[in-house]
């Protein structure tokens, strides 16, 4: 028993300390977080545009908007109906073929496009939860459709769905592990790298999973905190 514990300790020590291997995890973590944050930001921008186009097309007969909404519909269907791994490979090989592309940009674009589809559905639900009278009140004052969306509907819609958007960030942190397949040195990739150096694959992966877990649990608490703050401003 003692020997087994000693061996376990040795293998984790080997995966963490010599050659400053802990730095590898930290640099991987930094990459993972950068990609996740930028992916969610890009996803939020795409998501808002797609959601507004879809909701707008529902209440309008403008042919351009109808075509746009169809394209947006195809986009969300494709993204939500295919594995992220496949999407990442396609986007990477289609767009980022030159050798010196910035890995953060590659990851953020891949997952931003992926995340946008999910975020758009979240925001669409948020927009549809805002009472109809709000749009009418905005329009009756003389705001056009886009202005009413921007100043009146979207602020309320996004407030409604902030917890769901926070969850999307957590999902992104985990999902980005997929970028390790396109030579981006994220946390997952660095764990594999350490494993290849020590000839002992499992301990680095366990370390990586613990780091992922710490980040997601931490983010969950942050989101809960904001949820409580928002709930307070609702009933004064």
Partner 1 sequence: MIITKNLQKAFGDHQVLRGIDQHIEKGEKVVIIGPSGSGKSTFLRCLNLLEEPTGGEIYFDGTNVMDPNYDVNQLRQHMGMVFQQFNLFPHKTVRQNITLAPVKLKGMSQAEADKLADRLLERIGLPDKADSYPAQLSGGQQQRIAIARALAMNPKVMLFDEPTSALDPEMVGEVLELMKELAEDGMTMVVVTHEMGFAREVATRVLFIDEGVVMEENTPQEFFSHPQNERLKDFLSKVLH
Cβ atoms of 176 and 186 within 8 Å: the answer is yes
Q: How far is the CB of 127 from partner 1 (least distance, A)?
A: 14
Nearer to partner 1, 18 or 131 (CB): 131
Q: How far is the CB of 130 from partner 1 (least distance, A)?
A: 9
Nearer to partner 1, 75 or 143 (CB): 143
Nearer to partner 1, 6 or 147 (CB): 147
Helix and strand tally (H, E) in the chain? 10, 0
Q: Please tell me whether residue 236 adopts helix, strand or coil conformation.
A: coil
Q: Which of 1, 81, 232, 236 binds partner 1 (CB under 8 A)?
A: 236
Nearer to partner 1, 5 or 228 (CB): 228
Nearer to partner 1, 9 or 151 (CB): 151
Q: Is 59 in the site for partner 1 (CB under 8 A)?
A: no
Q: Which of 99, 231, 232, 235 binds partner 1 (CB under 8 A)?
A: 235
- How big is the chain, counted in residues? 236
User: Distance (Å, rounded) from C-alpha 178 to C-alpha 173?
Assistant: 10
Q: Which of 9, 136, 214, 229 binds partner 1 (CB under 8 A)?
A: 136
User: Distance (Å, rounded) from C-alpha 110 to C-alpha 113?
Assistant: 6
**CA 129 → CA 85, 133, 161, 218, distances in Å?**
33, 11, 10, 29
Nearer to partner 1, 99 or 228 (CB): 228
Cα torsion 167, 176, 105, 196: sign = positive
**CA 98 → CA 101, 129, 177, distances in Å?**
6, 44, 22
Site for partner 1 in 139-158 (CB under 8 A): 139-144, 147, 151-152, 155-156
Residues 155-174, mask of contacts with partner 1 (x by CB under 8 A): xx--x---------------
CB-count burial class (<10 Å; 0-12, 13-18, 19+) for 156: middle
Which positions lie near partner 1, rule CB under 8 A? 131, 133-134, 136-137, 139-144, 147, 151-152, 155-156, 159, 234-236
């Amino acid at each position: 028993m003692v020997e087994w514990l000693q061996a376990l300790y040795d293998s984790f020590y080997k995966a963490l300390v010599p050659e400053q291997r802990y730095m590898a995890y930290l640099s991987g973590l930094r990459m993972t977080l950068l990609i996740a944050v930028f992916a969610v930001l890009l996803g939020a921008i795409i998501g808002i545009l797609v959601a507004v186009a879809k909701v707008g097309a529902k209440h309008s007969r403008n042919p351009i908007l109808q075509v746009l909404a169809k394209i947006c519909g195809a986009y969300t269907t494709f993204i939500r109906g295919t594995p992220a791994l496949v999407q990442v490979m396609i986007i990477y090989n289609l767009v980022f073929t030159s050798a010196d592309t910035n890995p953060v940009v590659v990851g953020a674009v891949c997952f931003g496009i992926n995340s946008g589809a999910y975020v758009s559905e979240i925001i669409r639900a948020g927009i549809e939860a805002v009472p109809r009278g709000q749009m009418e009140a905005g329009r009756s004052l003389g705001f056009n459709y886009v202005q009413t969306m921007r100043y009146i509907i979207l602020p309320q819609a996004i407030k409604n769905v902030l917890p769901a958007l926070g969850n999307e960030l957590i999902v992104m942190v985990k999902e980005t592990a997929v970028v390790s397949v396109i030579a981006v040195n994220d946390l997952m990739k660095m764990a594999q790298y350490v494993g290849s150096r020590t000839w002992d694959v499992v301990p680095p992966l366990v370390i990586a999973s613990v780091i992922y877990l710490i980040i997601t649990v931490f983010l969950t608490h942050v989101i809960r905190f904001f949820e409580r703050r928002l709930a307070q401003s609702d009933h004064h």
